[in-house]
Structure 1
Amino acid sequence: MTNPAATTEKSATVKLVLDGKNVEARKGETILEVATANGVHIPTLCYMKKLNPIGSCRVCSVEVEGNSGPVMSCVTPVVDGMQVRTDTDLIKRYRQQMIRFILVNHPLDCPVCERSGECSLQNRTMEFNVADQLFFTTDHEREKVVDWGVIRYDRNLCVMCERCVRVCHEIQGVSAYRIDGTGIKAKINTQDGSPLDCDFCGQCVAVCPVGALNSGVVLPARSWEVQRTRSICSHCAVGCALSVETKTNMVARISSVDGVGVNDGNLCSRGRFGVQAYQSKGRLAAPESRFNGESRTLSWDAALDETANRLKAIVEKHGPDSVAVIAGERLTNEDAYILQKVFRAGLAANRIDTLSNIRNRKLNSGLFGAYGASAPLVPYSTMEKAGCFLSFGCDMEKENPVIANMARVVMRDKGTGLYIANSRNVGFMPDPKARIRYEYGAEVELAAKLADPASAKDAVADMARALVGHGSPLIFIGKEIHDHPNSENIMAALTALASKLNGWTLLYREYANTQGTNDMGLSPANFPGYARVDDKEAVAHFESKWGLELDPLFVREEDIFADLESGKIKGLLVAGADPATHFPNGGAALAAMAKAEFLAVVDSFRTPTTEIAHLILPSCVSVEKDGTYTNNEGRAQAFSRAVTPTTDSRPEWRIFQELGQRFGLVRTYSATAKITEEIADAVKAYEGFTMARLAGEGGLAAYPGAAPSGFKFDKAHTKDIRTKEYPMLLLTGNSLFHLDSLSRASDALNGIEPHALVEISAEDAKEAGIIDGAEVAVESALGSVMAVARVDGRSPRGVAYMVKGFENAPALRLVERGQGAAAARIRKA
């Protein structure tokens, strides 16, 4: 990465001589950058392209004519007329000496070191032919390894390259580390010397060139023993590229590669340390049936026969609207496509939905109808050209944390300003003047004032003028806005603000394929590609592509849970979702599903929803199958199977296909790639997409719709739902470490955050007699859940924030349907 201090006059060029050859370079580039661009290898140890140059190891030193000694190529900018030699005898000897200095007290633990075989110090030692040691110390004592849970620090192996310090500061924004001491006694330490308490992203482990910082999740393999399979993270919607490292059909480690994927090698805690979930003992092992209080294991044929026969019988007796599907948003595009095809073509059943779509159709299946080309979905590369960033109702560091990494890099390299508007104090911590903490419910009024500085006062006016001054803002919009009861007006106001300032909006999605499941028609209104199911041309199109005649399909967007409660829906298939935990008033959702005559659940893990199912069909996790996901920016990316299932589970599309055969459908698919090809043929937005094409950087879907001419919205303040009995406003959101049953199946992540936390202000805590870390009861009119109190300054007085995703403390069970928050009270347990 070019040193920002040396990037002036980038359009100007200089001429220099590099190893006897005349080359031309941009002014401000370093010798190392110019050499790399011209195919000249200069070895490095501390240097990383994505970090500002460090210059601590001196391994990259070269000779520059006129200088009295070697200079570090990573920090030295080129100048006109410079003559550089990179591989002289002097430089070779100098590099050998640098390695010897580093090796003075470095233990010869290579046979048992986690980095053995992929250690930069090993590589440089061999490259420079350092076969002897000329330097020794007499007072060195081996120090104990520091255990910080999922991260361990071995001071004895540390080469003080400072990569961990820099990546934590520059990209992660936590600045958890500092250098403690000087010279040979220097070591890495936490800022205050206490145990590490951070994001536990593992970025420091990833960048460590040796084994000093390593994973607390013990690896059952060495680097030369593993096979690496390119994959896409299945936790959130960023779409991070990662490498699944396997040995003897077991996942040993999740790693990443700098410069690869939208994430440039960055991962969060879930992506890096959630690896244990794949081999969790909590995985569903085989099909199960539960009728008349009796649970028994079934063969796949028996389970599929039972499922198909019961659903067909319900349709024959009560009609196709009596059967419904609730699909999870971690299904691949291929899973989702086959699911809707099987139920529409096989049963004429069109009540197909996701939890996100049920909660907010306008921002899911109705997104392009409402916003067209102004939809809140833009390439991540838009950050590079944005005049500034505005995070609105968004906790960037917790919702989609690697997007926060991307934003930090742009802020570092381009000086892009960041502004935050939120109902709580969330991460990133810009200058206080760049932050507004609004009252929940006042979002539309605030957005309107930001678009009209003349109507605003004080801090709002300052921020409004700053946004106008920068121009072209990229507005990050969080889950709080998606789930808000007034989200339609808020989104219209924010879209109008972006449009007025020639900017963009980006809506944070929750799951790996929330966007893709929308694209693939998991909606009662749309076929794949957003064509309406009641549109004659669309029906004819899919009849042609599917080679069959469809029965009439009717748009039924009524609440599935209400119709389960009333008995209109008799049969339900839940595929990869847990409404009992992840839908507002989950207790009522659970009770409604329990009323179904037949409930089948397809999942990889046991959940409160599987516990009431009549039949359970175990599905594969992402590392056990092929497929594609479509991320926040509309980028479809392919991933490949890394291991074969260790349980009797199957990919979801195969389960759905076999149900389709029992429904009377003839066409089948021999591989995931065949479904991808059919999607490309049938869905214009995915035209030309194949597994092969999407295996690298993926492809951006070509979504429909022209930009609307304007956006109207009501500025009225949302009604405050707090009462005398329940005087606090309870907001819910995602934890950095947990999202659902996948992350909860990881011992490492559970070790970091074992309990659901509820954040309350110091004033509210004092009034209730609650101390930090105490167990508390969080109550609303719908019930009570237990949590652990986190007393901090993030939430204002009268507002609490509870993480969701804990099936044993389901925060959303306290929230009424149609609401984004709950009136609550918190008391000592």
Structure 2
Amino acid sequence: MNIIDNSTIKINIDGVEFSAKKGSKIIEIADEVGIYIPRFCYHKKLSVAANCRMCLVEIEKSPKLVAACATPVMDGMKIFTNTDKVIDAQRAVMEFLLINHPLDCPICDQGGECELQDLAVGYGCASSRFIEEKRAFEDYDLGPLVATDVTRCILCSRCVRFCAEIAGTEDLGIINRGSNSRIFTFLQQHLQSEISGNVIDLCPVGALTAKPSRFKFRPWELVQNSFISCHDCIGSNLYVHVFRDKIIRIVPKKNDTLNESWISDRDRFSYEGLHDKNDRLNYPMIKKNGKFENVSWNEALNYSAEKLNEIKKTYGPEKIGTVGSSSSTLEELYTLQKLMRTLGSNNIDHRIKQLDFTNQHDFPKFPGANINLDEIENINTVLIIGSDITKEQPIIALKLRKIINNGGQVFTLNPVNFPFTMRITDKIITNPKYFPEILLEILENVRVSSNNENKTINKYKNLTEAFIRSEKSLILLGSYVTTSIDYTKILALSIELTKLTDSKLGILTDGANTAGAWIAGFIPHRIPGMSMSYENEGLNALEMFKAKLHAYILFGIEIEYDCLYANNAINALKNADFVLSFSSFKSKYLLDTADVILPIASSYEISGTFVNISGLPQSFNAVIPHEYEVKQGWVAINDLARKLKQPGFGYNSIEEILKEIKIITDIRSKITWNSINTESLNSEILNEFTLLPTISPYSTDPLVRRALSLQKTYIKNETSIRLNSSTYKKLKTNSNLLVIKNIEKENINKYVMLIDNEIADDTMIIDSKDTIDNTEFMLQCDKLNFEQS
């Protein structure tokens, strides 16, 4: 029996017959078969506006030309894209668009890659009949990232539709009518989205350009290189544009599986951190008589090897520990853990933003997501626990907006009523110490409903029913969970909920390569590819700093910003006999605590592999050379291992390291979440205040922290602690200053207390660039100090 496919039809374009999907637009089919139709307003990822009229085509038996972007194909349709009628219409549209457009191509950043330029040459006239004065508009400030030249705007409305449909911020709109129409911010404020830079790529002319790189290049001078995002757990694909061995801009590389056609502002503008000449390390340094001196690599490595061998011989290898960055490459982390284990130490960890390490043996191959990222938008119901996901993971947030637009539901359990850029079905706002209790109630609700017990569900009814009814559901755990003292408990309960409801689970890990760190064995309880017996496992990061080891090796971290227990860490480093740091940048506490500093290549100067949260490994090559005496991280580790006379470190290329890793373990992995034993977990709820640090998207790593334009978007005028009015009353004080000791025990930080009723009861959110002792998350009221301002 023949099966008739009603979804496929036949159409004819310029005399050639093609098969097409029913309901597709003419321009979509033309693009698929390689027939170019000019356009300005059309974009595959945006809604159809059909306002530029550049894509007009002729259809047989149609009295008028039609817009190819807005006209669906029909069976037997005959379409003509290059008749005299079409060409005349396109020429007329181009003439109208150029009436008021300024002739400033020689100074326009878009010159050379401008869609208006290209189509003017291909479809326009050689001269203009317009002799009247051109209209002009005053430019307005969109913030430190996007520059405007409104007079160049052709009102394609791509940027307006992007803000409304993709970003969800509606920052831009079209005001006035006729020739006075222009793009404007209604409230005259800066762009608020974490993905605002995408309007630069969408703009077909030079009306919106990148402010940090303005007037610094011509497009034909740039060299394009593929790269992988080094700032989050998604692994967004990028194109890095290089001018004279310096990165001048970064744009998205289309990948519908990961980031589609978008990237975050963090990925787009982080390269500016490479331009920080004050903090950049260029030479090996040894501290002599309390001051650092530049030395040769040979001297620095010999001295380091001598000190490490001395400590190993005197105190044993278990008194040496290493802490690395979750944004280091798979190859760097593997090589460093291999060096440590050949020395005889399993004190290896990257989890310096984690407080709870219980039941770590029950974790899968790596903490991540048991779902591919492109499958998220097909989910029906999502529960976000402990995450300001719009800021932390903007690319994931875009996928969640698609769920909402497709009729799905998103629920949140958070300590703050965050201003999400999507419609949230239900919000549960509470102190994080109650997260386990709430999850237990939801679990009980699901059990009752699944067993058809005659019991009324009063609390969290909508969430419970949504998860029970949903065919595809997902739970996402964010940074307020992974940094919690109840991390394992919340994770265990979330796993049980996924098993009861057949849901997926994902942990939004920090850094670009947390999954890779676990796979590489950069953890104290596992070697690459397998687990380790309990008696042989080393100390985790928190235990290492509490144990006050005799030697520490730091790799790619700034302890005062990256560590959740900075106070303990810095005290331990100051009291250690020897501290060796592999770093790209210097910082205050690095200079205070380190004895030897080895300069290593930063992001974009390194080759390597990142593994994202769904287990996808992506390798990349350096896009710019490193300068002076800087070395790639794996090379520096390899050289140190040779000085220590350790076997197995004859690597001549990074490909050799990756090949060795692949022999030991499969780096392309999927994970399965198994139940975690909750009997040993503490169930006591303390009646205390909870202090939570602000999770800034622009403080994730040393490079981002030095990207000046990004930092200008999040400048705080004062160091403050935000709390709601109910919590303030419980403090029983008339003061507006809260005093907390900072890293230096003899000093204090004073925080202005601001009332913010979007914050949960008994919860305080700290906004500060200073480091506090974050192990003291729980604050006793009788231990707080106040002052009058």
* Among candidates 648, 671, 696, match of residue 735 of structure 1: 696
Specify the alignment match of 1:541 in structure 2.
none
Change (3 A) 1:628 1:768: same
The secondary structure found in structure 2 opposite 1:246 is strand
CA contact (8 A) 1:768 1:827 kept: no
Structure 1 residues 735-789: Cα deviation after superposition (integer angstroms, max 9, x where no partner): 13322322121111222123486562563799799xxxx9965636987445677
- What is residue 296 of structure 1 aligned with on the other side? 293
2:765 corresponding residue in structure 1 = 801
Q: 1:95 aligns with which of 90, 95, 109?
A: 90
Q: What's the offset of the Cα at 1:702?
A: 2.2
The answer (yes or no) to whether the contact 1:357–1:365 under 8 Å persists in 2 is: no
Structure 1 position 678, deviation (Å)? 1.5
Label 1:460 to 1:163 Cα distance change in 2 as closer, same or farther (>3 A).
same
What is the Cα-based RMSD across aligned positions, in Å? 3.1
The alpha carbon displacement at 1:19 in A equals 2.2
Which AA in structure 2 matches 1:528?
Answer: P
User: Structure 1 residue 624 and structure 2 residue 605: aligned?
Assistant: yes
Q: Alignment partner for residue 620 of structure 2, among 632, 639, 642?
A: 639
| Aligned counterpart for 2:669 among listed residues 696, 702, 705 | 702
Q: What is the number of residues matched between the two proteins?
A: 765
Aligned to 1:600, what secondary structure does the other structure show? strand
Report the CA distance shift for 1:62/1:362 in structure 2 as closer, same or farther (over 3 A).
farther
SS of the residue aligned with 1:179?
Answer: strand
Offset at residue 333 of structure 1 (A): 0.3
Q: What's the offset of the Cα at 1:820?
A: 8.0
Alignment of 1:272-291 (within 5 A): 272-281=268-277, 282-291=279-288
How many Å apart are 1:213 and its aligned residue? 0.8
1:386 partnered with 2:362: no
Q: Specify the alignment match of 1:442 in structure 2.
A: 434
Q: SS of the residue aligned with 2:302?
A: helix
* Residue 232 (1) aligns with residue 228 (2): yes
Deviation at residue 573 of structure 1 after TM alignment: 0.6
**Partners in 2 of 1:212 and 1:827 — Cα distance?**
51
CA 1:664/1:431 → structure 2, altered by over 3 Å: closer, same or farther?
A: closer
Correspondence for 2:395 among 402, 418, 440: 402
C-alpha distance 54-364 of structure 1, shift in aligned 2 (>3 A): farther
For residues 344 and 123 of structure 2, the distance between their equivalents in structure 1, rounded to whole angstroms, comes to 70
Which residue identity does 1:402 align to in structure 2? I
Cα deviation digits, residues 638-695 of structure 1 (max 9, x gap): 1111111134211110110001111213542222122111211221x22xxxxxxxxx
**CA–CA separation in structure 2 for the residues paired with 1:207 and 1:10:** 36
Residue 458 and residue 47 in structure 1: after superposition, are their counterparts in 2 closer, same or farther (change >3 A)?
farther
Gaps in structure 1 of 5+ consecutive residues: 1-8, 536-552, 687-700, 723-727
Q: CA deviation at 1:199?
A: 3.4
What is aligned with 2:569?
589
User: Does the Cα contact within 8 Å between 1:481 and 1:490 map onto a contact in 2?
Assistant: yes
State the alpha-carbon separation in 2 of the partners of residues 564 and 475 from structure 1: 33
Deviation at 1:102, TM superposition (A): 1.2
Q: Is this contact kept in 1: 2:719–2:767, CA < 8 A?
A: yes
Contact kept in structure 1, 2:150 and 2:182, CA below 8 Å: yes
1:654-673 equivalences under 5 Å are 654-666=635-647, 667-673=649-655
The question of 1:760 aligning with 2:760 is answered no
Which amino acid in 1 is paired with 2:51? S
Give 1:544's aligned residue.
none
* TM-score, normalised with respect to structure 1: 0.86
Percentage of matched positions with identical amino acids: 24
| Aligned mates of 1:671, 1:291 — CA distance in 2 | 34
1:796 Cα offset (Å): 3.1
2:341 alignment partner, SS class = helix
Distance 2:787 2:262 in 1: 40
State the partner residue of 1:547. none
Partner of 1:575: 555
Contact 2:354 2:484 in 1 (8 A): no
Residues 1:518 and 2:513 aligned together: no
SS of corresponding position for 1:174: coil
Runs of 5+ consecutive residues of structure 2 not aligned to the other structure: 449-454
Deviates more, 1:43-52 or 1:790-799: 790-799
Q: Paired residue for 1:315? A: 312
Out of 414, 424, 448, the position equivalent to 2:416 is 424
Q: SS of the counterpart of 1:801?
A: strand
SS in 1 for 2:658: helix
Moved more, 511-520 or 780-789: 780-789
2:364 is paired with a residue whose SS is helix
Verify the 8 A CA contact 1:201 1:272 in the aligned structure 2. no
CA distance in 1, matches of 2:558, 2:14: 63
1:388 partner letter: T
Aligned to 2:708: 747
The answer on whether the counterparts of 1:201 and 1:267 sit within 8 Å (CA) in structure 2 is no
1:532: which partner in 2?
531
1:334 corresponds to which residue? 331
Q: CA deviation at 1:141?
A: 3.7
Task: Give the CA deviation at 1:637.
Answer: 0.8
Map of 1:550 onto structure 2: none
Q: 2:194 aligns with which of 160, 177, 199?
A: 199
Pick which of 646-655 and 713-722 moved more: 713-722
* Matched letter for residue 100 of structure 1: E
Q: Match for residue 606 of structure 1?
A: 586
Q: Does 1:253 align with 2:253?
A: no
Amino acid in the other structure paired with 1:596: A
Correspondence 1:83 to 2:78: yes
Of 710, 732, 740, 1:779 maps to 740
Q: Match of 1:50?
A: 45
Give the C-alpha shift of residue 427 in structure 1. 3.4
Say if 1:564 and 1:570, in contact at 8 Å, map to a contact too: no
User: How far apart, CA to CA, are the structure 2 residues paired with 1:766 and 1:445?
Assistant: 24
SS in 1 for 2:174: strand
Aligned counterparts of 1:505 and 1:127: Cα–Cα separation in 2: 51
CA contact (8 A) 1:152 1:215 kept: yes
Deviations 1:45-69 (A, max 9, x none): 1211121222121111111223322
> 1:696 maps to what in 2?
none
Q: Distance in 2 between matches of 1:422 and 1:378?
A: 23
| 2:240 corresponds to 1:244 | yes
Structure 1 residue 533: deviation in Å? Answer: 4.1
Q: C-alpha distance in 1, partners of 2:5/2:210?
A: 40
Match of 2:452? none
Looking at structure 2, the residues matched to 365 and 135 of structure 1 have their Cα atoms a distance apart, in angstroms, of: 75
Structure 2 Cα separation of the partners of residues 745 and 306 of structure 1: 31
Post-superposition shift, 1:409? 3.3
Paired with 2:390 and 2:235, the residues of 1 have a C-alpha distance of 16
Task: Report the equivalent of 2:661.
Answer: 679
Q: Equivalent residue of 1:637, what SS?
A: strand
What SS does structure 1 have at the residue aligned with 2:517? helix
1:342 counterpart SS class: helix
The structural deviation recorded for 1:497 is: 1.5
